[in-house]
Amino acid sequence: MHIIPAIDLIEGKCVRLTQGDFSQKKIYNEDPLEVALQFEAHGIQRLHLVDLDGARSGHIVNHAVLEQIATQTGLWIDFGGGLQSDEDVRIAFESGASQITGGTIAVKNEALFLSWVERYGAESIILGADVKEGKIAVSGWKEQSDMELMPFLSYFHEKGLQYAISTDVSKDGLLQGSALELYRKIREQLPELALIASGGVSTLDELDQLNDIGCFGVIIGKAIYEGKIRLVDLDPYL
């Protein structure tokens, strides 16, 4: 199971929100590159980089930070947040993203999203499946669609998607545990999908459980920044 730290960006700074609420913003570092370099120095190989400004505005914003991290580290970067057009995706890949994540676009413009899968390859596109009260949440979690999680995942998996990140919005940023039962259900119904768990991870025991469930990866954010999980604690998982 891949350990994937998260860096969320607002105005080029490393921040964390609580349950996607921009009014509950905490700045952890003015320099995201410094944070990325710390991750890499500890042997971490992957990074989840989220453009929160992009998610709020509906187009890529923090691509300069992406390019800086991509050119000055060897991290495998999946980049998401506000990717709503061919131009956004082109900029993301040209700025150094290894993969891009699309969630809102998969709901609101399925044809465009699937065209990216065809153009860049299924290995380069991650389906963002953020769930709130059983339904897919979009637009930086400000909106809730009518789509239920499992049919949504199944549909796009049948279309060739190999990777999905699923976040239970109700647990994100609270450090009260991840949605283990949700991930167990996904793994049971879609065992060939490379599932990346995200949201609420706060203990090493949860990492063991997510690994046992068979998750491809786990995204860790606030637990690292708040010192609940130290980078040195992650050594056995790397």
d(CA 134, CA 70): 35
Task: Give the neighbor-by-neighbor strand order of the sheet with 143-148.
Answer: 131-132, 135-138, 143-148
130 included as an active-site residue:
yes
In Å, how far from its chain's centre is CA 94? Answer: 19
Task: Quickly count: other Cβ atoms within 10 Å of residue 168's Cβ.
Answer: 25
88 included as an active-site residue:
no
Pick the catalytic residue: 51, 130, 168, 172? 130
Task: Quickly count: other Cβ atoms within 10 Å of residue 45's Cβ.
Answer: 14
Residue listed under structure tokens 């992957």: 46
d(CA 202, CA 137): 23
User: What are the residue numbers of the active site?
Assistant: 8, 130
